[in-house]
Structure 1
Amino acid sequence: MQKTSKDYLFVGIQFILFGLYVFDYFEKFKTLAFLHYLALILAILGFLVAIFSVFNLDRNLTVYPTPKNNSNLITSGLYKYTRHPIYSGIIFFTFGYSIYLGSIYKLIISGHLFIWFFFKSNYEEKRLMEKYSDYIKYRKITGRFFPKIKKPQD
């Protein structure tokens, strides 16, 4: 599939937000000790989810929302539970690390990343549906960033 200008826009702004996340301009806030360590665990978990998801994609990995021409739809590993586990991992990491540091600035950037990943994943899913006929079925049974909660059977 051919990349479009939207691919470059989504990735460009994403990397700008990553760059902004590195800095910190505001006062820190204090967190309760248990929340402080819970946030650190969330950040570590997010980092691991993102790393394992990258390895799960293997040669299909691309930073662009448009899938590679010679790629396959991956629905195993963490992709069995969520359609965008790399984004999920980054979201968990950035929010967890922001709370761990007590950084309002980083929390704001994390919120922007979450919103940006929502829009990027919308575009990405349109492209995936164009490429893979079974993506619609996969989309119905898995959550976007978090696993779907299945309703109990009567």
Structure 2
Amino acid sequence: MTFSSRLQRFRRRGGAFVAAQFVLMALVAGGGRRHNRVGAVQRAAGLVLLGLGGAVMVGSGRTLGRNLSALPEPPDTAQLVTSGLYGQVRHPIYSGILALGLGWALLRGSASALGWTAALAALFHFKSAREESALLARFPGYAAYRRRTKRFVPGVI
């Protein structure tokens, strides 16, 4: 397979979402460089969100195992996972990344990191919609799972 054909396949499977996601994640991280004075409560909230976000990402990645892909198009060998954190939300890795971004913005007192995290949340909304279209087409049980499980925050969103 040539580089050109691999690139075309990456684009067809939603690679633009992945590229934008990593750019925004870098902007969140870079947006936290300036350390404004933050109070103890804000610092503690930031640390809690960083820890929670990291734990959610790692736990969700382990639950997915070989099904894990950064692309919104599931791998050819993918199976539907509805256990673990996926029993609570449909996209816990995205939730974990957003918690990390929010925690970083709070910890650093960074309005720009907060803004880039909001942009990342918007991207995840559209990326997850693309992903869910593919999952609906592939797995007959996905429609029922989607009806009973929130997208990003249990019982809320």
TM over 0.5: yes
1:37 aligns with 2:44: yes
What does residue 135 of structure 1 align with? Answer: 142
In structure 2, what is the Cα distance between the partners aligned to 1:20 and 1:6? 24
What are the within-5 Å matches in structure 2 for residues 4-153 of structure 1? 5=12, 7-24=14-31, 28-148=35-155
- In the TM superposition, residue 42 of structure 1 has moved relative to its aligned partner by 1.1
- In the TM superposition, residue 8 of structure 1 has moved relative to its aligned partner by 1.0
Distance 1:51 1:101, change over 3 A: same
* Structure 2, gaps ≥5 residues long: 1-8
- In the TM superposition, residue 26 of structure 1 has moved relative to its aligned partner by 7.8
What does residue 3 of structure 2 align with? Answer: none
When structure 1 is superposed on structure 2, of 80-89 and 93-102 the one drifting more is 93-102
- In the TM superposition, residue 60 of structure 1 has moved relative to its aligned partner by 0.4
Which has the larger share of helix? 2
What does residue 152 of structure 1 align with? Answer: none
Distance 1:26 1:68, change over 3 A: closer
Over residues 9-48 of structure 1, what are the superposed CA-to-partner deviations in whole Å (9 max), with x where a residue is unaligned?
Answer: 1111111112222323885443331121122111111111
Give the TM-score taking structure 2 as reference length. Answer: 0.87
In structure 2, what is the Cα distance between the partners aligned to 1:137 and 1:101? 41
Over residues 124-149 of structure 1, what are the superposed CA-to-partner deviations in whole Å (9 max), with x where a residue is unaligned?
Answer: 11111011111000001111001126
* Aligned-partner SS, 2:103: helix
Aligned-residue identity in percent = 35
Over residues 79-117 of structure 1, what are the superposed CA-to-partner deviations in whole Å (9 max), with x where a residue is unaligned?
Answer: 000000000000011101110111112111111111111
* Aligned residues between the structures: 148
In structure 2, what is the Cα distance between the partners aligned to 1:119 and 1:146? 16
